[in-house]
A and B are shown apart, each in its own frame.
Chain A
């Protein structure tokens, strides 16, 4: 059997490892070689942990050899977004203010990856503190889209999607506050799931907006996403907002890929105007595929979604302004002394550090949030936004009375060019118009590739949304659509992506 280990899915690698046809060390080395070859161009990683990943791989191989019963994904390597605390590994959140910080503890999700025996390859690039839709706001330089190195890979988790799209890892962890898993998945031709809020522990996820943040899988296939979802999901007593219920049967749903009789709701407010023609065309085709697979289409209206962006950009900065207050140079991270001040006070050091350590987009949102929470403005801004949030949740509840899942294009456009929207924050924010409602309501969402836009040949994304705790429906619908699309394409969409500068370093197993 000949397999390019870098192109194999996690499920395939798991089978090869279980069958003893390859070793975790072999897989890990192949992926690290791939990174050596291509990441100079892509810049998906902020930090590669070669030694740590190989040490875990060796340990898992030894345990397997000793006949131990291992987790299904044991030995399958993974990359983790740099917003998750990793003990002994730098965690910067893409910000200068955390340069050099090495957490003394692991996020719960990371503990679960380690418990499953998954080697952690490294930490992926992101917009600073997850604020952005392009990774252009990373303090360490942008990640490039493997489909076109002149274009953005989406954001904030551009690194996690690009690392998967460029075959440097079969799996990655992303976080999604307003679309940061789904929009990068859409523009890189990969799969990403934002689980139900509370479905995956946030302990150790450096908070952007606590009530919106949710970690989830970034992969190349729907089944891989389900398998990773199962590893990281489930109750965590360290996170008060974690749901105390079993993880929905996502892997089973992905394997069955059954949409017979499923009612697919097309959200009127998330199609048509404002969506790139190629994006809309691939969306319409995908809906037809689902119908062909036995689903039924209904149209639903969610009128409050039109106010989602406005509410989101009040709630997010408000929470962020408070969450980011802890970065004050007192206990960890960057410390900058103000210039020309002898014997500076703590306040002066805090101000100088925050001025030097935060980028413009972070400062913009801290200022917005501080303003929105100010007394006298609270009711008009934060208070009203919370009301809109309830209306959006009501719209979802009503839509889910007639539809089992809702669908829309994930992002209105394909990947844009670097700099295109950097000076126009509103244009950048509009990219998340279809993904934001799910975060405001706490419902789960998935993006999977729906094809390439005719006008630019770039990937387009198909979004599926389900009721809270019905994450399994995402996987049932996603897997059914994926099957039909793969058949129509004759192979994975990523097979059509241009070769990156260095030739693929295939390994035989």
Chain B
């Protein structure tokens, strides 16, 4: 038995190739896009939305289930309070109003991975509504950024479905499969669906705006600590609604809903692709079919899914097994007080606190080092030191491993305290910069904390002035011409002597001290 795709009959646009695309510039010349983004976020609660089952990702199939999330006859749901609080915090962070009183509703449709054949969701009474999120996109001038405000229609609570695995086909998709397996571990995991109002006026920036919105939302949810927002694991999923209207018109065209858009890059590409495809259909005189489409990361294209119409009837009605959610205003305000600083604002503050240039800050952001640098600075390092040590050798090694710095360091027990200690060794004069680099490599090689590595490798600036003075004397003797220049007042010529002294000392000397002695010997101190 296989789980078949519903709805095989489709209206046709006779003589028109609905799968063709036209060039990007041609689309922009004739049409304006209207975007709508629906983002589903799996909350990181310890237990499911309506039962006490665990929510751990990647567990053996059907091991995190109970009568409630399996939809066994007689079982009843109980709302996860933490899930409701997370929903409210998300709503507040998106500048939404929080409902004084709202209910869950049943969304009725049959599908084998949905245990009750209805999804417990919210319908006309969402927990949060009427908000906005500012996103930043590169300014058209090419310098700095500009802000685009995305209006939020609503954020509501619901439960996830199980997961179907189609076996026997070559593609892992329904068609061609001999049978299907269902894993209900995911069934009942709390989801928040965040829906934008139609985004108009983005024009050619629409793909960038879409991507920036999802990225900004992801950062925000991460800062709220409500979800691990891993698009590749499906804990954050994006559906892209898109339609075109002829330039100058303000009547929305027919939209498609593209599913399975599960990376930031794909969001941008999918918007662009659908704009080019809609443009093709419309410019051929055809009409866009209202349907769901599937995004294919590999080909960069969408394919037709299920026809969808406004007549799709889920027979919503208020869930009689649950009581209304009525958060008190005190609760809402208490939750508001737990909101973190908005990520964009925080970035600006940190950049200024740390004195990083735009370029430095961008590199730090792209490498995902903000939190690590923040905790390293908090542990006592200088911002410049924290940035330097977390973005050099360790980044090269993490990159070679296909990992990011944070997880690479985490797995190896390399901590902010190590950076602080390393910096301390330099400022105390025990190590110079090149020695510090060697010590850091030792730390990364797993040889221990910086002091231990320096000890083991015998790395230490020579503190014995006698040895240094002897080396200076030897170098001056060999380079009488240079020494004379210094004596004559060309102090900058001392650099060449310092270099030779350092060489003589095999690097284990304090260059500053060497300079002091040289200048003293040559009568310039």
Q: Give the B-binding residues of A (Cβ under 8 A).
A: 84-85, 91, 93, 98, 101, 103-105, 107, 202-207, 209-211, 237-241, 318-319, 321-322, 325-328, 330-332, 343-347, 349-350, 370, 373-375, 378, 382
Contact = CB atoms under 8 A, between A and B. Distances in A.
A105 B110 contact: no
Contact of B313 (A205, A343, A374): A374
B317 A203 contact: no
Contacts of B78: 237-240
Contacts of B317: 318-319, 322, 373, 378, 382
B476 interface: no
Interface stretch (B115-123, B340-348, B411-419, B450-458): B115-123
Name, among B1, B2, B6, B311, the residue most crowded by chain A CB atoms within 10 Å (CB to CB): B1
B73 interface: yes
Interface residues of B, number: 35
Name, among B67, B71, B74, B76, the residue most crowded by chain A CB atoms within 10 Å (CB to CB): B74
Pairs of residues from A and B, 9 with the lowest C-beta to C-beta distance, nearest first: A325-B117, A345-B4, A373-B315, A210-B320, A211-B320, A85-B74, A206-B73, A204-B74, A346-B3
Given A326-B115, A346-B112, A373-B315, A98 B73 contact: yes
B394 interface: no
Contacts of B1: 343-346, 349
Given A85-B73, A326-B71, A240 B315 contact: no
Interface in B92-131: 106, 108, 110, 112, 115-118
A93 to B, nearest CB: 7
B169 to A, nearest CB: 13
Given A240-B79, A373-B315, A103 B72 contact: yes
9 contacts: A85-B72, A105-B72, A239-B78, A326-B117, A328-B117, A344-B1, A346-B2, A346-B4, A378-B316
B202 interface: no
Given A240-B322, A326-B116, A346-B112, 15 more contacts: A103-B72, A105-B75, A204-B74, A210-B321, A239-B78, A326-B115, A328-B117, A332-B73, A343-B2, A346-B1, A346-B2, A346-B180, A370-B315, A373-B315, A375-B315
Interface of B: 1-4, 6, 67, 70-79, 106, 108, 110, 112, 115-118, 180, 182, 311, 313, 315-317, 320-323
A321 B75 CA distance: 17
B6 A347 contact: yes
Given A325-B116, A328-B117, A375-B315, A240 B323 contact: yes
B245 to A, nearest CB: 26
A112 to B, nearest CB: 15
Nearest to B51: A238
B62 to A, nearest CB: 10
B74 A207 contact: yes
A374 B115 CA distance: 22
A328 to B, nearest CB: 6
A347 B313 contact: no
A401 B207 CA distance: 65
B118 A345 contact: no
A345 B3 contact: yes
B115 A331 contact: yes
A347 B79 contact: no
A468 B392 CA distance: 71
Nearest to B78: A240
Nearest to A315: B320
Contacts of A322: 106, 108, 118, 315, 317
Contact of B321 (A206, A240, A343): A240
Contact of A331 (B71, B316, B320): B71
A347 B110 contact: yes
Contacts of A84: 74
Given A331-B115, A375-B313, A105 B320 contact: no
B35 to A, nearest CB: 26
Contact of A325 (B4, B76, B110, B112): B110
A344 B1 CA distance: 6
B315 A350 contact: no
B74 A319 contact: no
Nearest to B66: A105
A238 B51 CA distance: 9
A274 B74 CA distance: 36
Contacts of B322: 240-241
A325 B73 contact: no
Name, among A85, A207, A211, A325, the residue most crowded by chain B CB atoms within 10 Å (CB to CB): A325
Contacts of A204: 74-75
Nearest to B108: A322
B66 to A, nearest CB: 8
A362 to B, nearest CB: 14
Contacts of A345: 1-4
Nearest to B180: A346
A103 B2 CA distance: 26
Contacts of B70: 331
Nearest to A110: B74
A237 B6 CA distance: 39
Contacts of B6: 347
Nearest to A369: B315
Contacts of A101: 73
Nearest to A373: B315
Contacts of B311: 375
A349 to B, nearest CB: 6
A239 B4 contact: no
Given A318-B317, A328-B117, A203 B182 contact: no
Contacts of B320: 209-211, 241, 319
Contacts of A328: 110, 112, 117
